[in-house]
Amino acid sequence: MLILVLLFAYFVFWGISFALKSYDDFSMLTITGLVSMIAYYVFVNIGMTSGVFPVVGIPLPFISYGGSALITLFIAAGLILNIRMRRFQGG
């Protein structure tokens, strides 16, 4: 469990570093929004599992089965990677 939490923390810091290195404001805000969405999912799900928060229907990103949530998270990760890849192109 600790390894999984560390991997999610690494993903969040990885995304934040991409946002700080982006060349325009739109890219920075898009990456920040997507990473904060994933971080919110992780925070709420771990809070529900530990009994701190009430149980709601938010799945753990990339782990729990949730059809539309899983597709949304894969699209978010793809957008982050696409923005990162195109950082070296354009002005």
pLDDT in tens, 5-44: 999 999 999 999 989 988 889 999 999 999 999 999 999 9
Integer Cα distance of 38 and 82 in angstroms: 17
Integer Cα distance of 65 and 59 in angstroms: 7
Residue 7's Cβ-side half-sphere holds a number of Cα atoms within 13 Å equal to 8
Residue 54's SS3 state is: coil
Buried b (16+ CB within 10 A) or exposed e, 12-38: beebeebbeebeeeebbebbbebbeeb
Share above pLDDT 90 across residues of the chain, in percent, rounded to a whole number: 48
Q: What is the pTM of this model?
A: 0.85
